[in-house]
Structure 1
Amino acid sequence: MENKLMKRITRSGLGACLAAVAGFSWMAAVQSPQTDRYANWTEYGGTHENIKYSSLAQIDTSNVHRLKVAWIYHSENRDSTKFGSAMESNPIVINGVLYVASPTLKLCAVDAATGREKWKFDPSDPLQNKTWPVRANHMCRGVSYWTDGANDHRIIYTAGPFLFAVNALTGKLISTFGTDGGVDLRTGLDRDPGKMSVALTSPVKIYKNTIITGCGQGGDDTPGHIRGFDVVTGTQKWIFHTIPYPGEKGFHTWKDPEAYKTKGSTNPWSGFSLDEKRGIVFTGTGNPTNDFYGGGRLGNGLFGNCILAIDANTGKLIWHFQTVHHDVWDMDISSPPVLVTLNRGGKKVDAIVQSTKMGFLFVLDRLTGKPVFPIDEKPVKTNGAVAGEILSPTQPFPRFPKPFVRQVLTEKDLNRLVPDSSYQDIKRRFHSYRSEGIYTPPSERGTVILPGYDGGGEWGGPAVDPRTNILYVNANEMTWVLQLVKAKQSEKTNNLTNREAGQTLYSRTCIACHGPERKGGGEGGIPSLIGLNKKYTTTQFVEFISSGKGRMPGFGYLSAEEKKAIASLILELTEEQDKPYKGPSLTDRQPAGPDYHSTGYHKFLTKEGYPAISPPWGTISAIDLNTGQYKWKIPFGEFEELKKKGIPATGRENYGGPVVTAGGLLFIGASADGKFRAINKRTGKILWEYDLPAPGVATPAVYAIDGRQYVVISAGGSKWEKKKSDAYVAFALD
C-alpha cells in the first residue's frame, strides 16, 4: 500500500516539477524504496533520526502557490480561557489519525483528512484519570506511538510529572500500565518524590519495548537522569545518572562530592533521536542549576551540556561529548541530535549533528563521538568573574561548519534603523556592559550575551535532506544582557516573619527569572508578578508554586509554610506578612540560595522595542554537511511596520523547526510575525506564505491520506503573550 501511494503521489508531482525546474535532478519526485519510510510522520521529527524530512512530493515548487487550508482543528473548542499555556506540538499521524496535545495537555485524536475529532483524553478530569490528577500546564511538544503489531496500540505521553499510556483507538487509559495507566516520574530517582518537580517538554523515545525518557524541566532539587521503562507494564528497567554517583564516570568532574544527592537539572529536556539498527539513543543535556552562577557547583560538571550516546537496551553510556564546560550562560543543548550519513573523502560516515544555542554545529562520528570536522579547545576569557566562581579556561570551537549566527557585539553592529536619540541610548548602554564575545564571564556590570539564551539554534532543531546532506537551520540573532547581583540573605536566622522568610526564599527560587523588583522580563517571556493578588487566592498561588506552569517548574521541595511565606510576599498579604514564620530553618535547608543571582531575563532592546543589534534578527541557513560550506542564508521573518517603510526583511525571533521535502520545499512557521512559509530549498526564495491565527511556534508535519499530501502545523502562538490560539491548521493543494 505504501509503495503504491508513493507512486501515485510522485507521478502527479513529477511532470510539473520537471517542467518548472528542468535539469535539477535533486528535485525530482521519484522515490526509491529506501526513502519510502520518510513518507509517513509517525514520530516527533518524522523518523527516529529526527531529520524532519518528507519524501512526499505532490506539493512542489511549481504548485505550492495553490496551497489552501484543508481543515482547522480547535483543540480547546475555541475556549480562550485555555489558551494560556504554550501549544508547540509536532503532530504524529498513525493509520490516518493525527495525535496532538492541546494547550492544557489534553491528548487529542483527529481524523487526519478532515480535522474531525475522534476522541480527547483530559488528564485533569478525574472521570478519565482517577489516580494521577494533573494540575500543571506546561508545553508539550509531541507524543509517541507504540504497537505490538497486533491489537495493542498505545499513545505514550506525559502531563505534569506523570507518564501515561493511552489506548490509541479509544482514548482510554490502559490500566495495566503502571498504576491505573500512569507512572509518577518523580519516583525512582533516589530523592524524596514530594520535593521534586518533573515536567517533560519533549516526547519520549520508544525503542522496541522500552520507553526512554528524561526528567524534563526539573527544579533545583531534581536531577535530569535518563531512564528506560517497560512500554507494557511501566516498570523502570534502567537508569543513567546525568549527575554521576560515586564510582561512575564523571563523578570527579564535580568538586562537591555530594552533588549527586543535591544538585539538579542536567536534563535532556529537548528530546531524543535513535539509531534503531544499533540500538543507540542520542540526546543532549542542559546545564546544572544555578544557570548563571556556578560557585555552588564547581567543576566541569558532567554530564551537563553533553551530547550522549546511550545503549537503549541497558542505559549504559557509550560515549559523551561536552559542548560547554561549566556553563554559566544557559547554553543548554536545545534540540535532539540529527542522524545522518555523510560522504567524506569518498567514504560513508554515520554521524550525528548537534545544533546549539551558540550557533555551532558539532558533527561527530555516531559510533565513537570523535569529531568529523576538527574541534579545537581554545582559551576563553575568565577575568572579571564574580567572587566564588571558577570558570573553565577553555571551550570547544568547531572549525567547520562556521557558526550560523554572530557571536560578538561591537559598536559597529548596533542598530542604526532607529532615530539617532535611540541609537545614542543603546550606544551608551552598550559601553556600560562587557561585550567581548562568546563565553565572556557573567558580571555585576552586565555582560552582553550573543547568541542569547534562546539561541542561535533553538528547540525546533534543523532539518536535513538525506539525499543531498544539506542541513537547514533557523536561528535567532538577539542580544541579551546577563547581570549578576550579590544575593541578599536575611541577617536574621530566627524569629523571622513571613515577609522576611518570603524575601529570602524569593531570592533563592524566583529572582533569577522574575528579577529583584518582580517585574519579570516580558521580552523574554517571563511574566511580571506584580498584581497577582487580583488573579490568585493564597490556595491557588500555593498550588501554582507546587505544580509549575509553562516554562516555570514546580517547587515541590518547598514546605507548605515556605510556600505560604512566598505567597504572602507576592500577593501582598500584609496581615500574613507580619505573622511569625513557622517553617523549617532557612539556614539549614537544601538547596540553599546561590551567592549571586541574575536580575532576570532581559533582551538588549532599543526604546522602540527592536533588538539593539543590527539585522538580521532571525535567519535560515542551508549548509552542506559533506563539506561544511554554506549554500545560502536568508533573513527569516519580518516586522510589517518596517516593511511598509521600505526596509528589507530584517528577520525576526523564531521558535520551532523546519521540514524539508522531496518536492523541493522547506516548510516553516516559527516566526513571531505569525506567517507559515514555503521556501525553495535550493535557493532560499520564499514561494508562498499564509497568516496563521497565531504564530506557529512548532514544527510542521507532512503526511498523505488517500493520495493527497497535507502539511499541518500548531498555531498556538503563546510564546510572545500576544496572539494565542488552540488551532491546528492543515494545508493541501486545491
Structure 2
Amino acid sequence: MCRPILMAVLAAAVLAACSAAPPPSAPSAVARAFQWSAWGGDAGGRRFAPIAQITPANVDRLQPVWTFHTGARAKGWDVGGKLTFEATPLFVHGTLYFSTATGQVFALDAATGKARWRYDAHVEAHADYSELTSRGVTYWRDPQAKADAPCAARLFVPTVDTRLIALDAATGKPCEAFGDHGQLHLSAHLRRTRHADYEFTSPPVVADGTVILGSSIGDNAFAAEARGTVRAFDARTGAPRWHWNPITRTGADADPGHDAPPYPKWNGAANAWGVFSVDAARHRVFIPTGSASPDLYGGDRPGDDAWANSLVALDTRTGQRVWARQLIHHDTWDYDLAAQPMLVTVRRDGQAIAAVVQLTKNGQVFVFRRDDGTPVYPVTERAVPTDGVPGEQLSPTQPYSALPALVRQGPVTPDDAWGLTFWDRNACRKRIAELRSDGMFTPQSLRGSIEMPSWVGGTNWGSGSWNPHTQMLFANVDDLPMVVQLLPRATFERLRKNGGLDGWDYNVQDGTPYAMRRRALLSPLGAPCIKPPWGRLVAVDLAHGRIAWSRPLGTSRGKAPWPFWYLHGAPNLGGSMVTAGGVLFIGAATDGYLRAFDQRDGRVLWRYHLDAPAMATPMSYVVGDRQYVVVAAGGHGKLDTARGDALVAFALPR
C-alpha cells in the first residue's frame, strides 16, 4: 500500500474513532457544586451523585488516574488477620477525607491523590478486637465559627479502641476544646465482659449541634454484654447531651444510662453499629439497631427485646423516641439491622411521600413515612415456627413486607443440592437432609439448622443506593445458606477439647445453657451446597412495588481454582453508588472487580480488576471539568481475600 493511501486509511480510522467516542460533556453547575459530605453521599444515605459526565455510552473508557497507599496493613497486630478497608471517603471543597481501621486519617487532594495531611490516633494494636474496620469519618462545619477559626470545619473520627476524636479539617490537628484535648474516651463505666468487644466502627452523624454515636459490640460471647446505648455529645465541646437505650428496663434494673458495677445478669447489646441518617428539617435521626445478646439463644430474654432489631426515629435535640418499628421479634438469627436507613421521596399514587427505606439481612425491603412510621407498603405479621431448643421462647409471628423479597426465603431441601461434581452434589444432598430447614425463621436446633438467608445477608452494612429521578432502589445481596448449631455446655467443652470446632465460627454464649457454632453450608470441594448465584445486584421499582431486574454480582474468581472462575454470583460485602449519568458502580464481590452497571437493565458496561477486592462503597465527585469515581480496595480478612491498602481513583481520558 503506497504512503498516501495508508495515511488516508489511518485518518479515516481516527475520524471514525472520534465520532464513535465523542469527548465527555462538561459537568453541570449542580455537578460542580455537589459535595459528597456524608458517608452515604448525603445525610439521608442515598448514595446518589448528580453527575452525568460518565454515561453508559462512554464508561468503557474509564481508567485509573491515581492510586494512594495508606500503608495501614496491621502488621504485628493481634487480630491483623481481621483487617478490612471499608471506608468511603468524603469529598468537601476539593479534599478527600477518610480513615483506616488502624486509626489513621488522611486528607488528599481530590484531583491528584496527593496527601495534604495525615493524623495517627495510635490505636492499641495488642487487643482482641471483634472487628478491625473503620467505615469512615464525619464532616461538620460549625455555623457559629468564623471561616478562618481553628476547627471551624472539623472531622469526627471513631476508633476501634472506643475513642471519638475531633480534628481540624484544614490541618488534621486535634480540636483542643473538644473533650480531653480533642478526644472522648467512651468505654468508662460500660459493662464489658471481654476485652475489646466494645468498639466504634461506623462514623457518627451530626445534627442540631450534637454528634450522635452508636457502637459495635461482639454480642455472642456473653449474655450480659454491654448495652447498645446511643450517645449524643456537644459537637463543639464534647459535653454529654443525651443518651438513648434500645432495651428499656424498669424498677430495680433501671440505671441512669450507663452500665456500672455491680453488673446484674441481664442481657445487653441491641447496639446500633451501622450508619445513622438525619432529617435535619424534622430534627430526627433514624437509627437501625441490632440483636440483643447473645444472638442465637434468647431463653433468658423473654419477649420481643424492644427496641432491638428496630428502625428507630429519635428527636435529635432531646434523644426522645418519636416512633419505632421492630422488624425482627426476639431475634435468634443475628439479623441485625445493619444497612443505613435511606431517606427518599417516593412518588406513588400521585403523592410525593417523605419516606425512610430499611433494607434487612433477611432480604426484605420496608418503607415507612418519616413523620410517624406508617408503612408506605403494608407490613403484616405471619406465623412462624416456635419449637426451638428447651428453654427458648420464640415469637409466634414475624413482620413481612408486601414488597417482594430480594433473596430466597423458603426451606432448603435435598432437591436443592448442588455441587461441582456428582460426588460433591450427593455429599450436599446428604448434609442438607441431616439439618433442619423450615424457611427464613427456622429455629436454632441441637442437630443443626440451615439459616437462609444467613446473618451475612440479604443486605448488610453496604446498604442500598437510590436514583430519585427513576424511583429505582438498588441493593447488592448475599444468597448463601449457613449451618448454625446450638451445643449443650458439656458437648461444647468436649468438642473444643477434641478439635471438633475447627473450621467453625464458634462462641461460648456464656451465661446461657448453650454455646454455638456456625459456618457456610459447603460441599467437600468448598462450594456452597445450593446452585449459584450466591450474590446478586437487584433493582427495585419503588413507585410500583416490583423487582425491575436482578443480576448475578461477581464470579468465583479468587475463591475457586481456575478453571472454575466461570461461576456467576459471588459472596459480597460493600455497597453501590449511582449517578445521574445512568451508571451504577460497585465492587463488593470477592473476585476483585470494580464494575459499572447500566441502571436501566443491569447490563455490565465496564469492569476493572483491582489488586484487592473493593469491600467498600464507591463515591463520585467533580473537580474542574472531570468526574472522578473513587473506591477503597483493601479486601476483607474475614472473607479470606487478597489484602491491600489502596484508594483508587478513575476518570475518563482527557
Into which bin does the TM-score normalised by the smaller protein fall?
0.7 to 0.9
Q: Does 1:201 align with 2:201?
A: yes
- Counterpart of 2:108, as a letter, is V
DSSP-derived class of the 1:627 partner: coil
Q: CA deviation at 1:349?
A: 1.1
Change (3 A) 1:247 1:112: farther
Match of 1:106 in 2: 104
Match of 2:381 in 1: 377
Contact 1:125 1:133 in 2 (8 A): no
State the shift of 1:414 in Å.
Answer: 2.7
What is the match of residue 7 of structure 1?
none
Give the 3 Å change call, closer, same or farther, for CA 108–30 of structure 1 in structure 2: closer
Structure with greater helix share of residues? 1
Return the TM-score normalized by structure 2: 0.87
**Which amino acid in the other structure matches residue 326 of structure 2?**
Q
Match for 2:400 among 397, 404, 407? 397
For residues 327 and 29 of structure 1, the distance between their equivalents in structure 2, rounded to whole angstroms, comes to 51
**Is residue 231 of structure 1 aligned with residue 235 of structure 2?**
yes
Superposed displacement of residue 643, structure 1: 11
Q: 1:691 to 1:596 in 2, by over 3 A?
A: same
Q: Name the residue aligned to 2:181.
A: 180
Helix, strand or coil: the match of 1:718? Answer: coil
Bigger mean CA offset, 408-417 vs 288-297: 408-417
Deviation at 1:469, TM superposition (A): 1.4
User: Residue 29 of structure 1 contacts residue 662 of structure 1 at CA under 8 Å; is this kept in 2?
Assistant: no
Would the aligned equivalents of 2:632 and 2:647 in 1 still touch at CA under 8 Å?
yes
Equivalent of 1:459, from 450, 458, 461? 461
Which residue matches 1:674? 592
Partner secondary structure for residue 344 of structure 2: strand
Which of residues 528, 532, 543 in structure 2 aligns to 1:626?
A: 543
AA paired with 1:369? G
Aligned equivalent of 1:47:
42
Q: Find 2:523's aligned residue among 606, 619, 633.
A: 606
Equivalent residue, structure 2, for 1:445: 447
- Structure 1 gaps of 5+ residues are 1-15, 22-27, 127-131, 252-257, 491-502, 529-551, 553-565, 567-590
**Cα distance 1:121–1:515, how it changes in 2: closer, same or farther (>3 A)?**
farther
Q: Measured at CA, do residues 344 and 451 of structure 1 come closer, stay the same or move farther in structure 2, by a change above 3 Å?
A: same
Identity over aligned pairs, percent: 36
Contact 2:534/2:571 (8 A) holds in 1: yes
Matched position secondary structure for 1:427: helix
Letter in 2 for 1:66: R
Query: Which residue, 133, 139, 156 being the options, matches 1:139?
Result: 133
Cα distance per residue 1:412-442 (max 9 Å; x no partner) = 6634352111111110010000111011110
- When the two chains are superposed, the root-mean-square deviation of aligned CA atoms in Å is 3.3
Which residue identity lines up with residue 94 of structure 1 in the other structure? V
User: Pairwise mapping of residues 299-448 of structure 1 onto structure 2 (< 5 A)?
Assistant: 299-383=303-387, 385-399=388-402, 401-411=403-413, 414-448=416-450
Match for 1:97 among 95, 98, 103?
Answer: 95
Displacement of 1:170 in angstroms is 1.6
Looking at structure 2, the residues matched to 246 and 438 of structure 1 have their Cα atoms a distance apart, in angstroms, of 33
Separation of aligned partners in 2, 1:482 and 1:143: 35
- Conservation of the 8 A alpha-carbon contact between 2:333 and 2:455: yes
Q: Name which of structure 1's ranges 424-433 and 213-222 shifts more when overlaid on structure 2.
A: 213-222
Cα distance in 2 for partners of 1:36, 1:357 equals 36
Task: Report runs of 4+ in structure 1 exceeding 3 Å deviation.
Answer: 18-21, 28-33, 77-84, 132-137, 191-197, 258-262, 409-413, 514-518, 640-649
Query: Would you say the 8 A contact 2:417–2:429 is kept in 1?
Result: no
1:367 is displaced (CA, Å) by 1.0
Which one of 279, 283, 287 corresponds to residue 283 of structure 1? 287
Corresponding residue number in structure 1 for 2:633 = 715
What amino acid is aligned across from residue 470 of structure 1 in structure 2? M
CA distance in 1, matches of 2:513, 2:612: 41
| Distance (Å, rounded) in 2 between the aligned partners of 1:260 and 1:631 | 50
Task: Measure the CA separation in 2 of the matches of 1:193 and 1:483.
Answer: 24
- Specify the code of the residue in structure 2 equivalent to 1:277: A
Residue 161 of structure 1: how far off its partner (Å): 0.6
Q: For 2:555 and 2:97, locate their aligned partners in 1 and report how far apart those are by CA, in whole Å.
A: 31
What displacement does 1:382 show? 1.1
Paired residue type of 2:514 = Y
Separation of aligned partners in 2, 1:32 and 1:702: 15
Post-superposition shift, 1:32? 8.9
Aligned length: 610
| Distance in 2 (alpha carbons) for counterparts of 1:646 and 1:196 | 39
Pick from 242, 245, 252 the counterpart of residue 249 of structure 2. Answer: 245
Partner of 2:554: 637
Who is 2:11 aligned against? none
CA distance in 2 between partners of 1:388 and 1:717 (Å): 40
| Cα deviation 1:253-277 (Å, max 9, x = unaligned) | xxxxx99874221011011011111
Which residue of structure 2 lines up, in the alignment, with residue 703 of structure 1? Answer: 621
Residues 56-88 of structure 1 show CA distances to partners (whole Å, capped at 9, x for unaligned) of 111111111111111111011778667741110
Query: Counterpart in 1 of 2:10?
Result: none
Match of 1:8 in 2: none
1:654 aligned onto 2:572: yes
SS of residue matched to 2:632: strand
CA distance in 1, matches of 2:172, 2:297: 45
The alpha-carbon deviation at position 517 of structure 1 amounts to: 4.1
8 Å CA contact retained: 2:593, 2:609: yes
Residue 408 of structure 1: how far off its partner (Å):
2.2
Counterpart amino acid of residue 44 in structure 1: W
> Is 1:161 matched with 2:162?
yes
**Counterpart AA for 1:144:** T
In the TM superposition, residue 618 of structure 1 has moved relative to its aligned partner by 0.6
Structure 1: distance between partners of 2:503 and 2:534: 23
Amino acid at match of 1:75: T
| Paired residue type of 1:421 | W
Q: Distance in 2 between matches of 1:447 and 1:462?
A: 29
Residue 60 (structure 2) aligns with: 65
Cα distance between partner residues in 1 of 2:318 and 2:330: 28
Which amino acid in structure 2 is aligned with residue 726 of structure 1? D
Please give the per-residue CA displacement for 1:432-458, whole angstroms capped at 9, x wherever unaligned. 001110111100111100001101111
Q: Deviations over 1:676-706 (max 9, x none)?
A: 0001000100000001110100001111112
Q: In the alignment, residue 556 of structure 2 is paired with which amino acid?
A: F
Unaligned ranges ≥5, structure 2: 1-16, 256-261
Q: How far apart, in 1, do the equivalents of 2:72 and 2:447 lie?
A: 49
User: 1:410: Cα distance to partner?
Assistant: 3.4
Q: Are 2:605 and 1:690 aligned?
A: no
- Provide the rounded CA distance (Å) in 1 between the counterparts of 2:564 and 2:119: 49
CA distance in 2, matches of 1:195, 1:73: 33
CA distance in 1, matches of 2:142, 2:63: 37
The separation in 1 between residues aligned to 2:498 and 2:635, in whole angstroms, is: 25
CA distance, structure 1, for counterparts of residue 396 and residue 364 of structure 2: 19
Aligned to 1:121: 119
**What is the distance in 1 between the residues matched to 2:192 and 2:584?**
46
SS at match of 1:114: coil
Per mean C-alpha deviation after superposition, the further-off stretch among 146-155 and 363-372 is: 146-155
Q: Distance in 1 between matches of 2:549 and 2:503?
A: 37
8 Å contact from structure 1 (residues 714, 727) kept in 2:
yes
Q: Distance in 2 between matches of 1:680 and 1:296?
A: 49
